[in-house]
Structure 1
Amino acid sequence: MSRQISPAAKRQASRKRLGGACKACHDRKVRCSLAKSGPPCTNCSLDDIECEPRVRKSQRGVGPSTVVSAQQAHDRTSVSATPSRQEVPGSFHLFGNHDKADVSISLVPPLEVDLDTRPATSHSRRTVPGNNSARKLDDLLRDSDGSHPIASEDLATCNERSDASCSSNYRPFRSHFSHFEEDDAPNTDSLPADTPMYGDPTGICAVANICEPEGADSSGHFLLPNGIFASLDLEDQEYLRRKGAFVFPESRIRESLVRAYFHYVHPFFPIVDIQDFLPKHESGALDKISTHLLWSMYLAACNFLEEDVVQAAGFTSRKEMKRSFYRKAKALYDMQHERERTTLIQAVLLMTFYSSDTEDKTGPWHWIGVAIGLSQTAGLHRNPHSTASRIPQYRQRLWRLIWWSCVHQDVWFSVGMGRPVRINLDDCDTQLPVAADLDALASGVPDTLREKYLPAGMPELSELFVELINLAIIQSNILSTHYRARQIRPSTADVMEVEKRIATIHEKARWFISSENLMVYYYACHLTLFSKSVLTVLYRPYLLRLSQRHTSSLSHEWYSSIDRKAQAAASGFNKILEALITADMVMECQNIICIALLPPMQFHLLNSTSSKPLIATLGQHSLDLCMLVANELRKTYFGASLLHQLFSQAQTQIRNRRAGPETTKITNPETQTTCLSHGSMQVSRDFTDTDIIRNLGSAFFGFEDDLNGDDFAMFNFSIDSPEGTPSNQRIRWYPELPIEI
């Protein structure tokens, strides 16, 4: 007996979704862009032929009046050894029927064979009279036409077990996502599973472990075959065309961008599958590469292009080129052009390489948050269960690299922005990357492409990346221990343990610095710089306590030793900077260097205020070297401009204090005047460590309770109020910074 269908359901049933490919592309077995771009697809447009959408086999002959009953479906599944999917006339929309742009998905018949096949015990339906729970379950799941959605052998097995085990008769959680599959696919296991999804099986909202208790030990990872999405509206496509999102640079410029990317971005940010990307890009098959990902890769590579290439591309500077590429990538993101989740995470992560000004609401901090959210939705932060055999090893490797790259970015920008880290490592159990993971990304690349685009010494660079991630984990632990609102006071043993871990990384970096390979030397220098910077981050809170003479169980001698170690770390940082200057590598420095410069420069600034002339002179010279590097990097990074301006103003404040009290105007953001003011404050010529360190405490580093996260670029000045009582006043220093439009 067929089920009555409402007029609304009939209208929905008459709609047919587009197949994954048009008829021409399907016959030639080539990739089709019909689902994304709409008719005509790219191939038909190039061949100048008619682009005719293909109707799936399951829709042929299925009209509004044709209904497949559950009992008929059950009869067929009991006869046929190979289950086939049937489509019922009707469709539903994700998140309701309110938005016409939502994805239309065909209903799945209730009696599909479960994905986790169970041994059949009987083909007859039987019920144990005394089992009330089984009878209630039988009544609840009985269809209106008398058919039963539970296979009889499953019910028989359930009746022979305890009531608690009856829940295993529910359909597996995985089968509820079968509507993502192609209806005419001969084998569902061979479908491309590009959409990862994660649901914590132990979470509060986890219903699956109640319905299927035996799956509670799984990791919660699911691979969903790509759904067929509606193409973009004509207005959206026209908007992207006006933005130039589909117009790429000429071949010579593209090759330079890709070479710069794999030389200067990929070794410390390995989130792109080289053996999949390079052959497509080299052959000019850009339609087979994600447009969003491609522009994001070009954006990241702009930081390392030579000036003649930048000018040949029609731009006057790297910053202008980055701004143009960023706008294209952001337009693609806003239009939701990229549907594959893993590819979207890759593209968004690479968009963190762009920042324009302090008021940018979609700067690196924003994109890191987006990437982390998408990664956690896909389950990249959790290690797939050993039973997740459907997830290929190469995909698990790539996920590991993407996730730990998220951790690396999150930690360093947390330091740079003075904000708490987003990722709690206690919530993650993804395996740490190993060098073999990076090597596997390039294992199948032809030698010609390897020589043309990839740097020499890839195995050594892979080992350096592993140490870079270890350093990021150490820094995350330091921030969560020493720079939190409710601080945990660690013991000397804890500090020594962190020192040992950093020293191990530093020794490995020193070993690679002796390499004759220029790229290995370049990355080993960066890792050494980062390790020295992390050391100064570790020591900084203890120097504050030393200068403030806080009473503590720790001895004054121990604090003094921390001071010496911090000075040695800052001095070692400068030695590596000198090496990069000598090798003429400053203009190719990584963007994280702008953040790594901050802690050592604070110590140099502190030394420059010493009452001892020799120490003050050394501190000033060390600070000048860092300022020289920051000034050079201003041509590429906005963060370097921020850094240079910050310490220039700090030096101005110190000179003003030494010169005695003077009356100037306070910075007014509305009038854009930048003359810093201290009012009529009385300033002593004898400076303490606390004065200088506290003045820089708000800059990028402040986790203090009274610091607004948006106003990190400030100084705190102690001034005298009209009543003569000291007070604190915050003074902005950055209103005249150029804002890139």
Structure 2
Amino acid sequence: MSTRRYRSAIACQTCRVRKVRCSVSMTGVPCISCEQDQTECILKPRQGKRHSSHNHRETTTVFPTSRHYVESSATRDTANQSNANPSSPDSSPGGEIVPLQVSQAPLDTPETKVSTASSEPSAADEEQLGVEMVEVALGHPRRECQVPYYIGEQTGGPTSTMHICTTDHLIPKHLLMPAAKQTILTEDEKTFLRSKGVYSFLSETASDSLIRAYFHNVHPIMPILEADKLLEYHRSKRLKEYNLILLWGLYTISSNYVPAEIYENEGFTSRKAFKAEMFARAVCVYNNGGEKNNLILLQGALLLGFWNSDIEDHMQPWQWSGRAINLCHVLGLHRDIDAIGYNTSISERQRSLFRRLWWTCFWRDRWLSVSLGRPLRINLDESDTPDPLVSDIAVDLEGIPESVTSAFFPRDLPRLAEYWIQLIQMTKLLGKTLMTCYQLRRPKPTINQIDTLEAELMRFNMPEHPDPMLSRLATFYYHHLQLHYQLVLVPVVLFSLYDWLTDGSRAILITFYRPCSVEAPSDLPSYRQREWQQEMQGKAMSAASKTCNIVYALAQGNFFSFAGPMTPTLLVPAMQVYLLNCKFGDALSRRLGLNMLNMCMMILEELQKTYSVASVCRGIFGKAIQQLFPDDAASISLTHSLPEQDVTPVAELMPPPTSIPDTPLQLELFGANVTKADFIDALTAEASIFSFVDMLNFTS
């Protein structure tokens, strides 16, 4: 009996003639072979059985050779219009806008229903991926290549085979691959996205304000989007065709900075409600839109990484940051594109974008590690990506008309780009500090290592006062950079800082990192410990004092409208230093410490109108202050954080000194059997602002 194998129950005419496997049953038309060869994909329905008494007329369906695969993560519903009458987003004078060159495909809405389940790739498709990888590596691609791909290190994996295929040249590790087919959503899937508001676009007035807010308040310190492409979609009134993950993600982070009338005109009663809705739409399309472009997913994760609303969501930034870092490693952004020679397949524009994305992920990793008390996830010993350049921010601004740049970008953008470079360099030093002094398994650092770290920080030649010619926005970013600087400085100068208590019970560490950090440098002689510790204590208090001076200047100048999601946590190290000083200092130190804490609590009260993390920090410190100093709680503005207490807030920013009796303070926070040492252990348990939560539940 014959064991003849049939190629496929359904095949196009070309594949039947060639007697090759056809993918039309899995991918639809055109099939992979016809698409690669740029030929018409003609599908003939199979005829009925030969013994049929009816002769059916043969019908042939011809499909076009080209198919549009959109960049967006979902097919747009063009019937959904904006819920407000749009007005022109161009608020600046100028003539007609010159169109920018963009590569995004036009929007097409398929007439037929195609289930995502039916788009599962066949074995032929998967084999074709491997073939294309080798073809691209050898420099002979058959299709247009535009998606970055990283083949990885030569550790014996399948991609290492590419290096065996050629002997005349080295194969770069970064390639551009043909774009994958975009998932076509079913009507049910589109209905679900529509029900979640993904296709309910904002008015042009709101979009204009949100995009301007992004370029003023986000892009200077997190330049992750291609500015010219975004602006071209906006200026040509085609934002509905822009990638929806990026659009809703941009709206989420920009909602922190727009005037109240913007979200009120969109039907929202509060900024937090508006931001929550933008975030919900972004997450919905991120998880359900079928996006396959890893660059888009990386950019979206970074935009969504500033969301937190309550105690359950306060770890959302850590989770989104992890996604972004993983995608960076998948794309190979941690490696130098030109490590083995200039890679001609990657443009200078792409190089700049890749550097911006990688160093933004690095920046988020280090500061989230400090804020949330989590381990570092990026190891710079495994990375050789070049440092970012000031020109990286400007590379995608070329060709944008002057009228557009003046309308959407701050006039101090070159100075802000310099601040961004300084922030990245400062972040690298923060990473060195964490790895040298506070990792779980590490040798004790020497006094020379600590002095070297401190010397590196001191080499930052930052002017003590901002340039008076700077705009208000640039002045805020100057102070914001100074806050980062003081936060980096405190962990360096506070490592193994001991403050011997008057009763001589034990030494304490004034910092907020791991308890294993309570140690002296390995080569510090015992007779020098007291002198060195007092010197470091003075530097710690100086850093805390400078932090409060910066915060006071921001409050006096009414700069907190520019504050970002990370601003509240920058106050925490100084507040912890002052709280410790209140606990174990003399009467004058306690009075001064309470005054400084009161000022910081007022600042957090202002910031909590926009940022939930400010409310969390304020509640933590408020509860600690209330229980440590019940007789003096009235001097601290705690009304919102502690509603159960009859506390009257103080109206003035810097209240007069409060009379505090110089008597031994009871550790009511922990119980009768807890010592001062227990208090310090709890305070320094983790490198996290949330370590105070453990203090409140501590039992001996």
| Partner secondary structure for residue 596 of structure 1 | helix
User: What is the alpha-carbon distance in structure 2 between the residues aligned to residue 487 and residue 231 of structure 1?
Assistant: 51
Pick which of 621-630 and 202-211 moved more.
202-211
Matched, 1:714 2:670: no
| Partner secondary structure for residue 496 of structure 2 | helix
Q: Deviations over 1:128-154 (max 9, x none)?
A: xxxxxxxxxxxxxxxxxxxxxxxxxxx
User: What is the alpha-carbon distance in structure 1 between the residues aligned to residue 497 and residue 136 of structure 2?
Assistant: 55
Residues 510/434 of structure 1: CA separation in 2 closer, same or farther (3 Å cut): farther
2:684 to 697, 715, 734: 697
Residues 696/711 of structure 1: CA separation in 2 closer, same or farther (3 Å cut): closer
Q: In the alignment, which residue of structure 2 is the partner of 1:158? A: none
| Partner secondary structure for residue 188 of structure 2 | helix
Letter in 2 for 1:443: E
1:574 to 548, 551, 558: 548
**Native 8 Å contact 1:103 1:228 kept in 2:** no
User: What is the alpha-carbon distance in structure 2 between the residues aligned to residue 535 and residue 30 of structure 1?
Assistant: 56
Matched, 1:198 2:153: no
1:321 to 269, 274, 277: 274
Q: In the alignment, which residue of structure 2 is the partner of 1:174? A: 137
Residues 34/714 of structure 1: CA separation in 2 closer, same or farther (3 Å cut): closer
Q: In the alignment, which residue of structure 2 is the partner of 1:118? A: none
Q: In the alignment, which residue of structure 1 is the partner of 2:16? A: none
User: What is the alpha-carbon distance in structure 2 between the residues aligned to residue 335 and residue 233 of structure 1?
Assistant: 12
Letter in 2 for 1:652: Q
Superposition map of 1:326-725 within 5 A: 326-360=279-313, 363-385=316-338, 386-505=341-460, 507-508=461-462, 510=464, 512-544=466-498, 548-549=506-507, 553-554=523-524, 555=528, 556-655=530-629, 681-682=672-673, 690=677, 692-698=679-685, 700-701=687-688, 713-715=693-695
User: What is the alpha-carbon distance in structure 2 between the residues aligned to residue 525 and residue 292 of structure 1?
Assistant: 32
TM-superposed CA distance for 1:365, in Å, is 0.7
TM-superposed CA distance for 1:599, in Å, is 1.0
1:17 to 3, 28, 36: 28
| Partner secondary structure for residue 557 of structure 1 | helix
TM-superposed CA distance for 1:445, in Å, is 1.7
Residues 716/211 of structure 1: CA separation in 2 closer, same or farther (3 Å cut): farther
User: What is the alpha-carbon distance in structure 2 between the residues aligned to residue 296 and residue 305 of structure 1?
Assistant: 15
**Native 8 Å contact 1:407 1:423 kept in 2:** yes
TM-superposed CA distance for 1:497, in Å, is 2.2
**Native 8 Å contact 2:215 2:409 kept in 1:** yes
Aligned-residue sequence identity (percent) comes to 26
Query: Please, what TM-score do these two structures have when normalized by structure 1?
Result: 0.70
TM-superposed CA distance for 1:382, in Å, is 0.8
User: What is the alpha-carbon distance in structure 2 between the residues aligned to residue 105 and residue 391 of structure 1?
Assistant: 30
Residues 18/698 of structure 1: CA separation in 2 closer, same or farther (3 Å cut): farther
Residues 606/301 of structure 1: CA separation in 2 closer, same or farther (3 Å cut): same
**Native 8 Å contact 2:162 2:171 kept in 1:** no
The two structures, once aligned, show a CA RMSD in angstroms of 3.9
| Partner secondary structure for residue 222 of structure 1 | strand
Q: Deviations over 1:155-185 (max 9, x none)?
A: xxxxxxxxxxxxxxxx65736996xx6xxxx
Matched, 1:100 2:118: yes
1:240 to 171, 193, 202: 193
Q: Deviations over 1:31-79 (max 9, x none)?
A: 7759975699899xxx9999789xxxxxxxxxxxxxxxxxxxxxxxxxx
Tell which has more relative contact order, 1 or 2 (C-alpha 8 A, sep 6+).
2
2:178 to 219, 225, 228: 225
Matched, 1:279 2:232: yes
Contiguous gaps of at least 5 residues in structure 2: 12-21, 42-62, 81-105, 508-518, 634-666
**Native 8 Å contact 1:607 1:620 kept in 2:** no
Q: In the alignment, which residue of structure 2 is the partner of 1:250? A: 203
Q: In the alignment, which residue of structure 2 is the partner of 1:184? A: none
Letter in 2 for 1:681: A
Matched, 1:312 2:312: no
TM-superposed CA distance for 1:202, in Å, is 2.5
Letter in 2 for 1:694: D
Residues 204/654 of structure 1: CA separation in 2 closer, same or farther (3 Å cut): farther
Pick which of 327-336 and 481-490 moved more.
481-490
**Native 8 Å contact 2:71 2:243 kept in 1:** no
**Native 8 Å contact 2:137 2:172 kept in 1:** no
Contiguous gaps of at least 5 residues in structure 1: 54-97, 116-170, 182-187, 660-675, 703-709, 720-727, 729-741
Residues 523/215 of structure 1: CA separation in 2 closer, same or farther (3 Å cut): farther
| Partner secondary structure for residue 621 of structure 1 | helix
User: What is the alpha-carbon distance in structure 2 between the residues aligned to residue 473 and residue 100 of structure 1?
Assistant: 47
